[in-house]
Structures are given as C-alpha cells and as structure tokens.
Amino acid sequence: AIHSLKLSRNHVDWHSVDEVYLYSDATTSKIARTVTQKLGFSKASSSGTRLHRGYVEEATLEDKPPQTSHIVFVVHGIGQKMDQGRIIKNTAMMRDTARKIEEKYFSNLATHVEFLPVEWRSKLTLDGDTVDSITPDKVRGLRDMLNSSAMDIMYYTSPLYRDELVKGLQQELNRLYTLFCSRNPEFEEKGGKVSIVSHSLGCVITYDIMTGWNPVRLYEQLLQKEEEELEESWMSYEEQRLLEELYITKQRLREIEERLQGLKASTISKTPVLKFKVENFFCMGSPLAVFLALRGIRPGNSGSQDHILPRTICNRLLNIFHPTDPVAYRLEPLILKHYSNISPVQIHWYNTANPLPYEHMKPSFLNPTKEPTSVTDGESASTVPSPTTSPVMVRRHYGESITNIGKASILGAASIGKGLGGMLFSRFGRSSTTQPPEAGKDGGEGDDKRATTVGTPPFSQSSSAFLEPTLELEHRIDFELREGLVESRYWSAVTSHTAYWSSLDIALFLLTFMYKHDQDDTDKSNLDAI
C-alpha cells in the first residue's frame, strides 16, 4: 500500500488513487486474512471492503434538514455529580422519542424542534472537598451517593452557595443560546421560540432565574415591613427619637452601599437574566410547589397563571408528573385552593385514536363527598353547582377496570345461579351492589359513554358537577401521566421520578404544545385553500 490510515477498530490502505480498501482489525478478520493470503489470494480480495468516492443520487434543495423553529433546553436536577453526562443521555432518549412522534403525527410540518442538554452542575466548585473530608467511612458508598445527589438541595438552600448554582445554570443557558444563534443566524430573524424542560430541583432553579427571586431581597423587605409596624405602634418620645436616628442612619448606610455597588461589584450577585423569552416551561417531577408554599405563596382569587409566574416572563407553565412520583407536587391549588379537589388533566397515551384536545377537557372532581340526606328550605334545585355544594361521584382510579371485570364476573355467575337454584349466591351478589334502580341505570349508561369517549370527565352528564366559569383556571397547569393497569405503585414510587425521559406519552405532550401554533397555521391555510 502506498498509504495507510489507522483507525480505532479498522485501518484503510491506499493501493492506488482509485483503489482504497477498508479492513477490520478484529482477531477473526486478521486470521481470515492470514489464511487466505497463504492460499494465494490478495489482501484486498480476501477481507477488504472497497471504498468509492462520489454519490449515489444527486442532491436537491429539498434534501436539507427541516428548519429549526423551536429549541428546547433540557435542565437536569440533582444527582448529576454522581453520574456525569447523564443529562446528555437522557436528552438523547427524549430526542429519539420525539423524532418517532414527529414522524407519526407532525410529518406534514416543515419545522423542527431541537432538544439541547444543559449540564450546569459539573462546572461548580461549591465547597470543594470539605463535605467529603467530614464524611465517615462506614457505609461509604451510601454516604457518597447522598453527597452527590441530595446534597445539591442543601447547597441550594444555603445562602452561601445558592447564588453559585443560580449563576451556573443561567450562564450555561445563555451560552448555549448564543452558540446556537451563531450557528443558526436565521433562528432569531424568523421568530424562533425557546422552551425549557426542567427536572426535579432544576425546576426550582429555573423558576428563580426567570422570576428573579432572591432570599436576601426578601429578608430586606421583611425588615422594612417590621420598621413600618414599629412606627405605627405607640411609643414614648425617647423611643421615637432613637428610632428616627436609627432610620436616618440606615438610610445613610443604604446610600453608601449603593455608591459602593456602583464602583465595584457587590458581594451579592445580581439577579441573573436570560437572553431569551421562555415560551413554555415544562416541569417534570417538580417540587416547585413545595418551595413556593414555604416562601409564603398562598391561593388567590383569580385563575391566572400570573399569580405564580407572570405571562410576561413565560407564556405557559405546565407541570407534568407521574401519580406515584414522591418528589412531584401540584401547582394549581396554589392559584385556586379548590383545585385540590379537582383531578389533574390526564395525559393521553401516544397511540390514542382521536384524543380530545387538552383545552376542551373539563375539570372533574378528585375526592368524593357524601350526598346530603335532606334539603333545607333555603336550598334550591336551580342553584349553580360548585365544588362545595355539588354531589360528587366517585373518581375512577387507575386499574379499576380490572376490578370491574371481577365484579362483572361475580354478577354474571350470580345471574346464572338464579336459573340453577343458587338463590343464596344471587342474593349475596345483589346485597353487595345494592343501589336504587334508576341511579344504577343512569350510572350504567354513563359508564358506556365514558368507555366510548376519550378524555371525557369521569362522571355522567346527569350530575353537572362542573365549576363555575369564574372559578376556573385560564389554562390547566397540572398534567398527570396514566398508570399501567398492571403497574405496581410501590415499584413505581422508586422508578417513576427518572422515567420521564423515554416516555412516548410525554414526547407527544411536549410536541403538541410546541407545534400548536404551527398546526393552527397549517389548518388555517388548508381551509383557505379549500
């Protein structure tokens, strides 16, 4: 060979300008080449693969990949230090599942959604190795696992290291966005959109970056409020004089601090700002609701998302969780309190035929209440139902279909027993399912309707247990994955928190909201053409 190139598992030989062969360096291939060459065959003809320059088909302008109209930053939670690079693998799984969904449901669109991993933990120094040095040696493996995962929560609640975590994620988000725009200059020009998918603790950090929440600023506001309360309370002349001097001194101190901050950077880092507006903020397995509740967020009187996340910062907030995820919490009851008694929206299975759009799904009650035994004179049948006055039917739980099959088998056996003289068994079957004949008839018809309609509320139309329009949220926020019929809830509690990445149901859910405007425009153009 006139030239040779060594690769990791192969090598390439140039015998001439036109004769280029690829050879495998595996042991079996080497043995085969040795035997065939001793038999008189050439090396190229024995085990080599000839390489050719050129192309099979001429390229066209339509062969280029679709334009990226939406980028999604995927933010990890705790445990990244324990398994570095895990977010890259998880994002690759999410990207692969999204490609399958795109080919199946969104192939008619000329746009493309790109998922980009955001790895912010490995670049942080934090306390160095101080925590490792104070860790006892017994059950070291378990302790190291906790130090590499749960310790991130303690770092974030620490006033010393919180700013470092926030700044690390903010800088990485801005760096990736700037890099993507430099390689795709048409993205901003054509109005490209940005969404964020955060997992676990990453949801809390991302939320604080977008809203600018800072515990130090909160503490200053608390001190100012205490000063105002002291001024309003009664006190002697001497106390008033001393408080006035203290107020003047603090005001002077603030002025000096502001001048000092103008000359050099403050020790307290400034609230990070993103270089882009977030279109959709998807939280997966998120404890954000707990953090907001501990910060004093309480339910309000309007159903607007602005109560916890202003629309000027993020257009849409969506909270995705598995029913058995022990880390995930609901956000809707922090906006309207009575939504704690309303079930989250069920995410459709990816292979559901003609699913009901999420914006058309009516809220349904979660916990049943007993029907009143008597009606007072002040009550009227024409009263508008509400979560506290309407009779609520039992919510259908996951896996209940298997229980219903068992009940149907028992009732079927009981009916057969009637003809065979099994009166005792028949009476036992009736006693376990005793109900008014009319109610049972209506309930059966309601079950049939529910079985044939996807995404309908889990009770019949006769019980109009829906909410007043003034009490509903503008947009639903909590979305719940469906459990499998044979899924163990105890095992799911262990695995559900990390099972979001490869879910086809979640991939379809994400793309449904990100492609919503593109689909609406396509449908409108098709109608105009017709």
- For residue 478 the two structure tokens come to 């909590």
What's the rounded Cα separation, in Å, for the pair 193 and 504? 23
Handedness of CA 258, 261, 267, 272 (dihedral sign): positive
The answer to whether residues 319 and 331 touch, using CB atoms and an 8 Å cutoff, is yes
Please give the Cα distance from 348 to 481 (Å, whole number): 8
Question: What are the distances in angstroms from CA 286 to CA 315, 476, 477, 480?
Answer: 19, 16, 12, 12
Tokens of 325: 């995820």
Residue 358 tokens read as: 């999420």
Structure tokens at 162: 């919180």
Among 359, 334, 348, which Cα is nearest to 507's? Answer: 348
| Distant-in-sequence, close-in-space partners of 245: CB < 8 Å, separation ≥ 6 | none
Pairing state between β 111-118 and 49-51: unpaired
Please give the order of strands across the beta sheet that includes 49-51.
3-6, 10-14, 20-24, 49-51
Provide the H-helix boundaries in 363-482.
400-419, 423-432, 437-452
Question: What is the residue type of 412?
Answer: G
Phi, psi (degrees; rounded to nearest 5) at 410 = -65, -45
Whether 200 is catalytic is yes
Phi, psi at residue 222, to the nearest 5°? -65, -40
Residue the block writes with tokens 């009263």: 383
Tell me how far apart the alpha carbons of residues 117 and 80 are, in angstroms, rounded to a whole number.
12
Cβ(334)–Cβ(297) under 8 Å? yes
20: nearest Cα among 48, 55, 56, 41: 48
Helix (H, G, I), strand (E, B), or coil: what is residue 11? strand
Give φ, ψ of 13 to 5 degrees.
-115, 135
Closest by CA to 275, choosing from 197, 162, 182, is: 182
Q: How distant, in Å, are the alpha carbons of 128, 154, 215, 337, 473 from that of 205? A: 21, 13, 13, 25, 25
The active-site residue out of 69, 200, 286, 496 is 200
Helix axis angle for 516-529 and 504-514, nearest 10°, is: 60
Amino acid, res. 159:
P
Sheet strands side by side (includes 111-118): 111-118, 67-75, 193-199, 278-284, 314-321, 478-480, 345-346
> Which positions are annotated as active-site residues?
200
